[in-house]
Amino acid sequence: MEPACRRATGAPDWTHAMTALPRLSDARRRAFTLVEILIVVVILGILAGIVLPQFSDAADESKESAMKQNLMRMRQQIELYRQEHNGSYPTLANFIDQMTLVSDQAGATAAIGTAGYRLGPYLPKMPRNPYTDTIPIGSGVVGSSAWYYDETTGHIAPNDSAERRVW
């Protein structure tokens, strides 16, 4: 029972509030132990180890797809150039100009819109090799340029690795 003076003054009664607080032993039972936390961290680590390589594979697949699309487009345009230039392929020395500018029947290039140069352009711009993010074209050893080009056969291939050069 409460004293009459406490009820009359309107002061709060804290005796009931103290019994509503959890005891220390109850709080310890609701908290996570160090072992439980470590188990969760290990499980998250295992899941991350499973998922992260899949993102890496997706990036490689994207580069491979871009490479194959670039090659297909360049090979088609090289063949179109050959047909329009009496069987001659673009020269290695002038490859980018001959593919991205207009040209005459002999293969001489000029700026787009120049009178007398009615062939091309075959590519709006030279595509980058997605593995090296560069454009250079050459006929040297693997790694010496982004693209390998043989002007006698019109064959173009990636030149960043021996594996991809055979594509």
Note whether residue 17 is domain-resident: no
Note whether residue 31 is domain-resident: no
pLDDT tens figures, 54-112: 777 778 889 999 999 999 999 999 999 999 999 999 999 999 999 999 999 999 999 99
Domain residues for the domain of 111 are 43-165
Note whether residue 116 is domain-resident: yes
Note whether residue 19 is domain-resident: no
Closest CA to 156 of 71, 87, 83, 81: 71
Note whether residue 106 is domain-resident: yes
Task: Give me the helices (H) in the chain, please.
Answer: 4-9, 15-20, 24-30, 34-84, 95-100, 162-165
Helix, coil or strand: residue 18: helix
So what's the pLDDT on residue 3? 55
Is the model's pLDDT at 1 over the cut of 70? no
* pLDDT bracket for residue 27 (50, 70, 90): low
So what's the pLDDT on residue 2? 53
* pLDDT bracket for residue 18 (50, 70, 90): low
More confident residue, 139 or 56: 139
Per-chain mean pLDDT for the chain: 86
Note whether residue 32 is domain-resident: no
Domain count, the chain: 1
